[in-house]
């Protein structure tokens, strides 16, 4: 059984090495049979990897502790449902997970590009297979999840308790998938480049599609990670600019730049070189993310596997980057823009500005993340580059991005005259100014907060204004309001899907800004029966109950909570200690409303029931978590297939009837 899985992994590795050779040689020698054989070989890779995965999961389910990975990541006490988490909880399993996800998605990608990009497809297939072969090589030679121990232990070591949380069912797999899926738009782009098709914009649609898919998965992964940190790490925050968080954020930033900039190529045939640069940067940063996560040089709370293998990732990153840059210069001639920038006051230049801002944030984040290494090398002391640094440096840059998010989409392509610039921007700008003014008048005195909220209102006003105007102009032509609004949105799905995503980003920004400027936090020492007030909340600490489970000791504190003197409910928070791992995990008590979260987290329990609690009132945090579904909706709306008129139909002379259907 296990042997079958091991064999599947080895065969998959060999096949993944054959595919690029067959594809590249087949393309160069103009031997379609060879490229086809490569492609068919590629189709077997996910099948083989699924067999290996099935074997691993089966070993978990039957508790076969003779498999080393099962022994290390599960035990008899672990509920079966956590098999899914245990699958990717360790280093070897997570590598297999990455390989399986990439293999399945790559085959789907190959199926989508095969017909539409006949010249690019073999190269893209080869590149994807090379990347998969890298993972499989590491799995087969260094970290095989199906390695068998030469004895059979009676029980396993168990799963890391911090992973036993609902968020862990989704966050790590999404985060890993998001990172690894950046490989697909990268392969398509570099494949097109290698096939001398970079200058024809035929790869753009599919590159954009796969770029958006990986972007969405990364976004949701990041959101869920923050949510997990917020509910389980027990400090009342959700983002700390920790190296691992940063390493997941950087590819997201580059991909955000890419999915925007690719639109300029799609619409205007510009930024061809720039888009190549962006996707190469994004993929490099994604690999960097995997490297930092896997025994990288920077200490962090999240990294789950320490090993020398991190350096292999670094080497592979360097190799792919250099190779991609080489292809870039080799085919540079094919990347001339079709049209040129006509005016700095245009949507094109807003896009370019946005791209540069995103790359700047990515750079600052990278700089801050790796500066400790430089500092240690240069002067022998480690320097901490933490949250205050990132808040200060990235804060203004992010604000500038939000501002562009409001203004950019309102600018016309090509050029804007001063008059229509004023006309399109007058409503959002005046709403923004007005909000700022009102905020100052009512007593908000923190300049960054005022500017930030004014900017957010500017963006929101811009979007709503667009929707209202568009709906109204359709309504005037006789459509009822609701239908007019629906037709408006579906007439240009990429654009209006984008606006929906922007709405989600606004929600995210509102929550982030409000909770970083107006969070109230107190650390309280309380006896059972004691009552305390924080903000408009009053709560009584009812007492603590100690419970002993097979794997943990839990102290469960309960509270009765009142808001403005009115009873709103009971809340429970616990702190659990896992003796096997010597890890303590806390679960905060959170009462979440649209306006604010009331959050109690136990820091310490002493004998006799005395306890230290951290109590927070975090405004508007709910909106951050709610942005996830909105963003997903926006992407789905924007990507939903529309009937695409075949280009050939354009040659029909005017007036020819086209049959419906």
Partner 1 sequence: MPAVIFRLNKLLYLLSSQVSARTLLAGAVFALLLTACAVTPEYYTGLDARAQSLNKNIMCPICPGESIDQSQATIALQMREIVREKLSEGQSDAQIRNFFVDRYGPSVLMEPPTDGFSILAWIVPPVVVVVAIVAFLLAIKGMRGNEQRTELADSGNGPSDPDNLERYYQRIEAALEPSLTRATTTGNDASNGTEESNG
Task: List the interface residues with partner 1, window 395-414 (CB under 8 A).
Answer: 397, 409-413
Q: How far is the CB of 267 from partner 1 (least distance, A)?
A: 5
In Å, how far from its chain's centre is CA 303? 17
Q: How far is the CB of 523 from partner 1 (least distance, A)?
A: 7
* 269 near partner 1, rule: CB under 8 A: yes
Q: Which of 114, 165, 196, 266 binds partner 1 (CB under 8 A)?
A: 266
* 635 near partner 1, rule: CB under 8 A: no
Tell me 653's DSSP state: P
The span from the first CA to the last CA of the chain, in angstroms, equals 52
Q: Which of 312, 352, 362, 509 binds partner 1 (CB under 8 A)?
A: 352
Q: Is 525 left (phi over 0), alpha (psi -120 to 50) or beta?
A: beta
- Choose between 148 and 513: whose C-beta lies nearer to partner 1: 513
DSSP string covering 267-290, please? HHS--HHHHHHHHHHHHHHHHHHH
Site for partner 1 in 461-490 (CB under 8 A): 461, 466, 469-470, 473-474, 476-479
Say whether 120 sits in a helix, a strand or coil.
Answer: helix
Q: Which of 84, 371, 562, 577 binds partner 1 (CB under 8 A)?
A: 371
Q: Which of 318, 437, 531, 583 binds partner 1 (CB under 8 A)?
A: 437
Q: Which of 47, 491, 531, 583 binds partner 1 (CB under 8 A)?
A: 491
Say whether 265 sits in a helix, a strand or coil.
Answer: helix
* 334 near partner 1, rule: CB under 8 A: no
Q: Please identify, among the stretches 49-57, 161-169, 515-523, 553-561, the one whose residues bind partner 1 according to the rule CB under 8 A.
A: 515-523
Q: Please identify, among the stretches 61-69, 117-125, 187-195, 647-655, the one whose residues bind partner 1 according to the rule CB under 8 A.
A: 647-655
Q: How far is the CB of 534 from partner 1 (least distance, A)?
A: 7
Give CA–CA dist 74/508, Å, rounded: 36
- Choose between 331 and 614: whose C-beta lies nearer to partner 1: 614
Give CA–CA dist 571/589, Å, rounded: 6
> H or E stretch including 454?
helix 447-476
Using an 8 Å Cβ cutoff, are 48 and 12 in contact? yes
* 653 near partner 1, rule: CB under 8 A: no
- Choose between 349 and 558: whose C-beta lies nearer to partner 1: 349
Tokens of 73: 């990541």
- Choose between 37 and 334: whose C-beta lies nearer to partner 1: 334
Sequence-distant (6+) residues with CB within 8 A of 339 are: 268, 269, 270
Q: How far is the CB of 429 from partner 1 (least distance, A)?
A: 7
Q: 342: buried, middle or exposed (CB in 10 Å: 19+, 13-18, 0-12)?
A: middle
Q: Is the dihedral of CA 337, 338, 344, 350 positive or negative?
A: negative
- Choose between 114 and 415: whose C-beta lies nearer to partner 1: 415
Q: Which residue has 């790559």 as its token pair?
A: 106
Q: Which of 29, 147, 384, 593 binds partner 1 (CB under 8 A)?
A: 384
Tell me 67's DSSP state: B
Site for partner 1 in 587-626 (CB under 8 A): 595-596, 603-604, 612, 617, 619-620
Site for partner 1 in 193-212 (CB under 8 A): 201
* 237 near partner 1, rule: CB under 8 A: yes
Site for partner 1 in 278-317 (CB under 8 A): 299-301
Strand partners, 532: 539
């Amino acid at each position: 059984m296990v042997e079958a899985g091991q064999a599947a992994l080895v065969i998959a590795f060999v096949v993944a090495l054959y595919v690029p050779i067959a594809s590249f040689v087949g393309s160069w020698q103009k031997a379609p049979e060879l490229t086809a054989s490569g492609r068919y070989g590629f189709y077997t890779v996910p099948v083989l990897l699924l067999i290996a995965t099935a074997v691993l999961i089966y070993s978990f389910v039957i508790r076969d502790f003779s498999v080393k990975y099962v022994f290390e990541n599960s035990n008899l006490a672990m509920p079966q449902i956590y098999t899914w988490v245990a699958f990717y909880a360790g280093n070897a399993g997570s590598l297999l997970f990455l390989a399986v996800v990439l293999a399945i998605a790559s085959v789907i990608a190959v199926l989508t590009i095969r017909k539409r990009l006949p010249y690019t497809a073999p190269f893209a297939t080869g590149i994807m297979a090379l990347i998969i072969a890298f993972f499989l090589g590491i799995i087969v030679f260094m970290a095989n999840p199906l390695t068998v121990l030469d004895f059979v232990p009676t029980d396993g070591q168990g799963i890391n308790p911090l992973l036993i949380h609902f968020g862990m069912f989704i966050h790590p797999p999404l985060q890993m998938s998001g990172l690894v899926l950046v490989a697909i738009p990268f392969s398509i782009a570099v494949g097109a480049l290698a096939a001398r098709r970079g200058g024809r914009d035929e790869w753009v649609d599919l590159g954009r599609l796969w770029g958006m898919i990986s972007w969405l998965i990364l976004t949701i992964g990041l959101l869920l990670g923050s949510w997990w940190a917020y509910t389980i790490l027990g400090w009342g925050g959700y983002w700390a600019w920790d190296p691992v968080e940063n390493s997941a954020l950087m590819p997201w930033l580059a991909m955000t730049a890419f999915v925007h900039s690719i639109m300029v190529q799609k619409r205007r045939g510009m930024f061809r070189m720039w888009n190549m640069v962006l996707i190469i940067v994004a993929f490099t940063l994604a690999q960097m993310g995997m490297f930092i996560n896997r025994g990288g040089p920077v200490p962090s709370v999240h990294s789950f596997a320490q090993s020398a293998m991190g350096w292999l990732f670094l080497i592979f990153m360097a190799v792919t980057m250099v190779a991609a840059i080489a292809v870039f210069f080799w085919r540079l001639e094919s990347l001339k823009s079709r049209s040129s920038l006509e005016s700095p006051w245009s949507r094109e230049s807003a896009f370019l500005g946005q791209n540069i801002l995103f790359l700047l944030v990515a750079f600052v984040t990278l700089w801050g993340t790796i500066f400790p290494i430089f500092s240690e090398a240069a002067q022998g002391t480690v320097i901490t580059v933490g949250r205050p640094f990132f808040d200060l440096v990235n804060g203004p840059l992010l604000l500038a991005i939000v501002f562009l998010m409001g203004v950019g989409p309102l600018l016309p392509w090509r050029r804007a005259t001063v008059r229509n610039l004023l006309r399109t921007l007058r409503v959002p700008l005046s709403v923004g100014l007005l909000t700022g003014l009102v905020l100052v008048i009512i007593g908000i005195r923190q300049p960054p907060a005022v500017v930030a909220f004014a900017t957010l209102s500017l963006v929101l006003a811009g979007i709503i204004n667009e929707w209202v105007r568009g709906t109204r102009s359709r309504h005037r032509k006789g459509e009822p309001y609701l239908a007019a609004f629906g037709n408006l949105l579906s007439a240009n799905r990429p654009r209006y899907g984008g606006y929906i995503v922007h709405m989600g980003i606004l929600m995210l920004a509102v929550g982030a800004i409000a909770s970083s400027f107006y969070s109230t936090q107190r650390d309280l020492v309380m006896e059972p029966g004691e009552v305390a007030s924080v903000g408009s909340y009053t709560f009584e600490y009812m007492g603590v109950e100690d419970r002993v489970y097979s794997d943990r000791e839990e102290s469960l504190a309960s509270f009765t909570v009142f808001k403005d003197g009115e009873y709103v409910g009971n809340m429970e928070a616990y702190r659990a200690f896992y003796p096997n791992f010597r890890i303590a995990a806390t679960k905060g008590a959170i009462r979440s409303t649209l306006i604010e979260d009331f959050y109690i987290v136990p820091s310490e329990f002493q004998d006799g029931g005395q306890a230290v609690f951290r109590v927070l009132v975090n405004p508007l945090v709910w909106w951050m978590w709610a942005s996830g579904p909105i963003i997903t909706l926006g992407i789905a709306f924007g990507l939903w297939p529309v009937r695409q008129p075949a280009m050939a139909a354009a040659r029909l002379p005017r007036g020819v009837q086209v049959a419906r259907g």
